[in-house]
Amino acid sequence: MSETPPPAEHPHRWTRKRVTVPAVLAAAALLVPGLASASAAPAPQPAAAAAAAQRHGPKPTIVLVHGAFADSSSWNGVIARLEHDGYPVIAAANPLRGLDSDSTYVSSLLDAVPGPVILVGHSYGGAVITNAAVGHANVKALVYIAAFAPDQGESALGLTGMNPGSRLGAALVVRPYAVTGGGGADGYVDQAKFRAVFAADVPAPDAALMAAEQRPVALAALQGASGAPAWKTLPSWYLVAGADQAIPAVTEKFMAGRAGAHTVVIPNASHAVMVSHPDQTEDLIVRAAEATG
């Protein structure tokens, strides 16, 4: 399902003015009986607003799941906007060790969140939310941000190679890692190629920081086969990064269409679209929250 692209980025204003009660009113409250209690009484809530609040209840918690070669700070711009608009937010620390274990970890986090949840994933984080949401009645919608939305048996690695256009393989640096009881191989994006592959529309100094701070993903996680997908039973939204060099945009559109997702395309966006276009990313998340509230 295709949607008209949201409006262009717009600045948010988060400054607030402190309002103080003039001293003359405080003095008058001492002289005029009943004035103090009357001024302390809450203003009556308009009937329409009260009815809306009762109908919709509290806003859902937005749970954000980052992908490979990133961390939760990649959501900073989106988080600031969501919190400004009154949404509680949790940015999960995706372990990036294996699809089954990462999904189990996020699933346990969902168990601890009271009330409704909008579950959002970027890149490999999309494969994680596809599995983690299964069996959670409190998850009301899935939002994919340039993300994998695998069907059962599919892997992130397999979907990456479904269509030509990904430059990720040629930029991958593999390093062994050791942990107690074993180890494996981690994948990093070559820092010299990081901006071109991952964040071409992010300012160069910011992309350089992202490259240095990237969290590696265990190669086994990218090869892990997905279970039954939650998008078959939950409504979904999808933001396609039209200039993505990590997951080809044609593959993103395929996954969005297969899931029946409400889809927005940002033509010139890189894989790090939530960093370069936080307004439009937040807008899609809010659409999902409002549609399922």
Please give the C-alpha separations between residue 248 and each of 63, 169, 255, in angstroms, as whole numbers.
25, 12, 11
pTM of the model: 0.83
Say which CATH architecture domain 57-292 belongs to: 3-Layer(aba) Sandwich (3.40)
pLDDT digits (tens, 9 = 90+) for 113-127: 999 999 999 999 999
Give the per-residue pLDDT at 56.
55
Give the per-residue pLDDT at 293.
87
Higher pLDDT, 293 or 265: 265
pLDDT digits (tens, 9 = 90+) for 119-172: 999 999 999 999 999 999 999 999 999 999 999 999 999 999 999 999 999 999
As a whole number, mean pLDDT of residues 244-263 equals 98
Decide: 168 and 217 in contact? Cβ < 8 Å.
Answer: no
Predicted confidence (pLDDT) at residue 2 exceeds the cutoff of 90: no
